[in-house]
């Protein structure tokens, strides 16, 4: 099931755990801000930190070394748009759980979280993922994809900067290589990024083998067999629970979501 196909009755439930369905998104003016996020997590190293802790670190302590108060505030707002920055938000808490445990997964974790929260990024992602490895992706072609989703909404300048930001984010995540010319590459999935992608699909209602076929799983550039290997690795590490009997697969996430949160999500869905 695509996030675009989720009916309005479930939007509220998914918004409560961290997904965003707001029109627009941070990529109209920013990338996934991977460097800023990394520095922020080094400065605020408590997994249970709340939004005001992150705000204090960015705005008051200037942990990201921004030049002006206005820039600090804008940086905080963009990071909140992309990630939530609150341990009470299930989606963010799970992302930080894997961030601490699987350092190689961080770029993909950031992309997955931003994808769940930024509709502008989502609008262009399928085009990039469906592009064959080794093919070139031009800024102009990406601009057309974005404009086709909401024709006439963005000015030419905004379309250009948005396409550049999205290309930059997918370069950070390993889906693209190159500077002036972007070439489709293959992202390097890890146990942490696979587990997080499965968790996002689980929150959206997928179960069993369906978890390996969601839009989140497709962002990993990973075959089913390889995903299953990495899922079982994550299970051995105790991050998730994977049970497999023949072709039947069950994946559970007791370390990522409380029983009360899960029951509330099921009730609202």
Give the integer Cα–Cα distance in Å for 234 and 9: 32
Give the integer Cα–Cα distance in Å for 137 and 126: 13
Q: How many CA atoms lie within 13 A of 32 on its CB side?
A: 25
Give the pLDDT of residue 9.
73
Give the pLDDT of residue 192.
98
Of 18, 25, 12, nearest to 118 (Cα)?
25
Bridge partners of 252?
241
Give the integer Cα–Cα distance in Å for 210 and 221: 16
**Do 104 and 6 touch, CB atoms closer than 8 A?**
no
Give the pLDDT of residue 4.
65
Domain interval for residue 225: 191-268
Segment 123-134 shows an average pLDDT of: 95
Count of domains observed in the chain:
3
15-62 pLDDT per residue, tens: 999 999 988 789 999 999 999 999 999 999 999 999 999 999 999 999
Mean pLDDT is lowest, of 149-158, 201-210, 213-222, for 149-158
Of 6, 13, 10, 187, nearest to 106 (Cα)?
187
13 and 96, same domain (yes or no): yes
Other beta carbons less than 10 A from residue 232's beta carbon: 17
153-197 pLDDT per residue, tens: 888 999 999 999 999 999 999 999 998 899 999 999 999 999 999
The answer to whether residue 268 scores a pLDDT higher than 70 is: no
The answer to whether residue 5 scores a pLDDT higher than 70 is: no
- Provide the whole-model pTM: 0.94
Asked, for residue 22, whether it belongs to a domain, the answer is yes
Asked, for residue 112, whether it belongs to a domain, the answer is no
For residue 126, give the CATH number of its domain. Answer: 1.10.10
Give the integer Cα–Cα distance in Å for 139 and 163: 6
Give the pLDDT of residue 59.
98
The answer to whether residue 262 scores a pLDDT higher than 90 is: no
157 and 215, same domain (yes or no): no
Asked, for residue 78, whether it belongs to a domain, the answer is yes
Asked, for residue 165, whether it belongs to a domain, the answer is yes
Q: Please give the share of the chain, as a percent, with pLDDT higher than 70.
A: 97
Asked, for residue 113, whether it belongs to a domain, the answer is no
Mean pLDDT, the chain, whole residue set: 93
Pairing of strands 136-137, 182-184: antiparallel
């Amino acid at each position: 099931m695509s996030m675009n196909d989720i009916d309005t009755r479930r939007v509220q439930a998914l918004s409560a755990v961290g997904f965003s369905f707001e029109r627009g998104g941070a990529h109209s003016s920013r990338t996934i801000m991977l460097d800023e996020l990394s520095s922020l997590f080094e400065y605020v190293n408590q997994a249970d930190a709340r939004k005001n802790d992150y705000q204090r670190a960015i705005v008051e302590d200037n942990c990201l070394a921004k030049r002006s108060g206005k820039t600090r505030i804008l940086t905080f707002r963009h990071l909140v748009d992309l990630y939530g920055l609150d341990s009470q938000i299930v989606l963010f808490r799970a992302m930080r759980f894997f961030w601490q445990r699987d350092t190689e997964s961080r770029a993909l974790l950031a992309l997955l979280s931003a994808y769940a929260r930024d509709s502008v990024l989502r609008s262009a992602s399928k085009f990039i993922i469906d592009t064959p490895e080794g093919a070139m992706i031009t800024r102009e072609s990406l601009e057309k994809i974005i404009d086709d989703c909401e024709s006439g909404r963005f000015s030419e300048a905004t379309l250009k900067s948005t396409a550049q930001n999205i290309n930059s984010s997918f370069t950070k995540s390993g889906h693209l290589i190159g500077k002036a010319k972007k070439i489709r590459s293959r992202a390097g999935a890890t146990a942490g990024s696979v587990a997080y992608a499965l968790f996002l699909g689980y929150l959206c209602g997928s179960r069993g083998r369906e978890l390996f076929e969601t839009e989140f799983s497709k962002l990993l550039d990973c075959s089913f067999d390889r995903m299953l290997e990495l899922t079982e690795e994550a299970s051995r590490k105790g991050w998730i629970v994977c049970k497999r009997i023949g072709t039947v697969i069950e994946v559970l996430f007791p370390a990522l979501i409380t029983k009360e949160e899960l029951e509330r999500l099921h009730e609202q869905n």
